[in-house]
């Protein structure tokens, strides 16, 4: 259907305007109130067979509901009522054109009704595809020569020069560049810098890197400006010594978060921590736990810690924000052997742990120090779940690297590790999209990254060298940092 729409719809609107569409959509498609849901339950049945679906249409000329196909076709043919509303997705249909109809004003009415429905049910708004604004449509028309990403396209792939033991930085940048929502944010130029000089803003530099990666150029990039900014804001990482990729990731996220916080990108000032800390009770609201910057929206989850008194069984709960989960690989104090898979690590991380007599806590109910158990669980999960396998072990006697092979899946279900039982509506499945590996020893090592470039297409990023990789190569790698993206996103209604 062309942008000009349907001539039969224009004729219909001249007679009925859009009020009949507004009423039918509000009461029988999106159901904006309890009364609307009651009406739909009682009245929204096929006038021919009495059924409720699976796909009902409502005539916009008169009060008539019928199933898709012969039942509704009979009504349209006999009455010459050509314009109908499909009730599952609020789509206009023209019997004369035998096609669905695009009408911007009706789509806006449907969008407003979806917001009202979400508010009345206290739920997230269901996903709807992106619709360009008039300005965006005009831009697309005025720039017909646009880069198109094809199945074999290399757009988004750039090698990164090693500036002297900076492989740790190159790998983290490759993982961030291939984080879908982060890419969408920066390529749509959402960042509004409020720092005096943009050359001092790490977010501006990251935005520039995204433009470089997706420019179509193929020459390797130098990250000297990014490295200088990291050194400026994280002094402990300054110098050309080999740094830990996990530490660099946490520092980078923290600096981006702080720079977003000081701009229009963020309206609250809570900095999430990578490690658990006692900071809040379970009754604290989400507003006090989260800011609204892009880093928080993508990477921040909430970890619940339950401490149970062994005498009175009273429970003390704290909830802490996190950007990643660090998982031990060594043997436990209970004598359990080392884990063999990511699921083993997560099961051990969320297992109840007896704190013992040397770590008694003061119970608020017993008013005395008592032995207790402590258990972690996931209160809320981020869009990107990143896992840090603690392969570097530091002690007073010796520092060593744990090279044990830890298997990790392509698809990960986090439902077993949630604080609350699943209601069947929320999806906790994740898909692997980046893996960072460390080869060598603690003294002399090298970082490489595997990233998912497109669906079922993996590449190996070894500084300035980019080569294709198989999924088997990815899954057979040692694994130091694992990045998983949520498969189904829940969209919150902006009320």
Enumerate the active-site residues: 167, 446
Q: What are phi and psi of 423, to 5 degrees?
A: -95, 0
Yes or no: say if 364 and 309 are a contact pair by the CB < 8 Å rule. Answer: no
3-state secondary structure of 387: strand
Q: How many helices (H) and strands (E) does the chain have?
A: 15, 21
Yes or no: say if 374 and 447 are a contact pair by the CB < 8 Å rule. Answer: no
Structure tokens at 243: 């740094």
Structure tokens at 283: 């009754």
Yes or no: say if 297 and 490 are a contact pair by the CB < 8 Å rule. Answer: no
Structure tokens at 483: 């990045």
Beta bridge partners of 432: 484
The whole-angstrom separation of Cα 435 and Cα 448 is 9
Note the helical H segments in 214-308.
224-233, 245-261, 286-289, 294-299
C-beta neighbour count of 198 within 10 angstroms? 14
In order of 18, 278, 313, 335, 353, the CA distances from 310 in angstroms are 65, 20, 5, 22, 12
The whole-angstrom separation of Cα 495 and Cα 486 is 24
Beta bridge partners of 400: 393
Structure tokens at 20: 């009949």
Residue among 91, 82, 39, 43 at smallest CA distance from 61: 82
Give the H or E element holding residue 445. strand 445-454
Question: Over 446-488, what HEC string results?
Answer: EEEEEEEEECCEEEEEECCEEEEECHHHHHHCCCCEEEEEECC
């Amino acid at each position: 259907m062309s942008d000009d729409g349907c001539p039969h719809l224009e004729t219909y609107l001249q007679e009925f305007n859009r009020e009949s569409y507004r009423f039918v959509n509000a009461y029988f498609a999106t159901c904006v109130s309890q009364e609307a849901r009651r009406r739909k339950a009682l009245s929204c049945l096929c006038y021919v067979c009495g059924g409720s679906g699976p796909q009902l249409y409502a005539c916009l000329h008169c009060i008539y509901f019928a199933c898709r196909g012969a039942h509704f076709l009979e009504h349209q043919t006999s009455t010459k009522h050509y314009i109908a509303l499909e009730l599952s997705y609020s789509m206009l249909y023209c019997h004369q054109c035998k096609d669905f109809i695009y009408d911007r004003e009706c789509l806006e009415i449907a969008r407003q009704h979806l917001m009202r429905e979400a508010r009345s049910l206290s739920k997230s708004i269901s996903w709807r595809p992106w619709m360009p604004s008039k300005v965006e449509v005009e831009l697309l028309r005025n720039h017909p020569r646009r880069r198109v990403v094809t199945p074999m396209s290399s757009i988004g792939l750039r090698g990164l020069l090693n500036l002297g033991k900076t492989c740790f930085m190159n790998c983290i940048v490759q993982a961030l560049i291939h984080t879908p929502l982060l890419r969408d944010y920066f390529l749509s130029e959402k960042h509004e810098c409020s720092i005096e000089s943009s050359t001092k803003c790490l977010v501006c530099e990251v935005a520039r890197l995204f433009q470089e990666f997706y420019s179509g150029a193929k020459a390797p990039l130098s990250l000297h400006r990014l490295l200088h900014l990291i050194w400026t804001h994280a002094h402990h990482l300054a110098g050309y010594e080999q740094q830990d990729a996990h530490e660099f990731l946490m520092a980078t996220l923290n600096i981006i978060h702080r720079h977003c916080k000081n701009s229009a990108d963020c309206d609250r000032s809570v900095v999430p921590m990578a490690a658990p800390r006692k900071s809040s009770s379970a009754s604290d609201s989400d507003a006090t736990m989260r800011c609204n910057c892009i880093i928080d929206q993508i990477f921040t989850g909430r970890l619940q810690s339950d401490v149970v008194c062994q005498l009175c069984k009273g429970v003390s709960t704290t909830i802490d924000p996190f950007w990643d989960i660090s998982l031990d690989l060594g043997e436990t104090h209970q004598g359990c052997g080392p884990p063999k898979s990511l699921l083993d690590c997560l099961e051990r991380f969320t297992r109840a742990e007896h704190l013992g007599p040397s770590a008694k806590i003061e119970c608020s109910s017993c008013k005395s120090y008592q032995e207790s158990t402590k258990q972690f669980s996931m209160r809320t999960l981020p869009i990107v779940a990143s896992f840090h396998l603690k392969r570097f072990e530091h002690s007073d006697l010796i520092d060593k690297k744990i090279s044990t092979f830890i298997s990790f899946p392509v698809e990960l279900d986090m439902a077993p590790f949630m604080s609350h039982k699943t209601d069947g509506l929320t999806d906790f499945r994740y898909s692997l999209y980046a893996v960072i590996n460390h080869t060598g020893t603690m003294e002399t090592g090298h970082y490489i990254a595997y990233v998912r470039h497109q669906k079922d297409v993996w590449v190996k990023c070894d500084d300035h060298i980019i080569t294709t990789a198989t999924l088997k190569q990815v899954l057979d790698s040692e694994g130091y940092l694992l990045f998983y993206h949520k498969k189904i996103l829940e969209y919150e209604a902006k009320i």
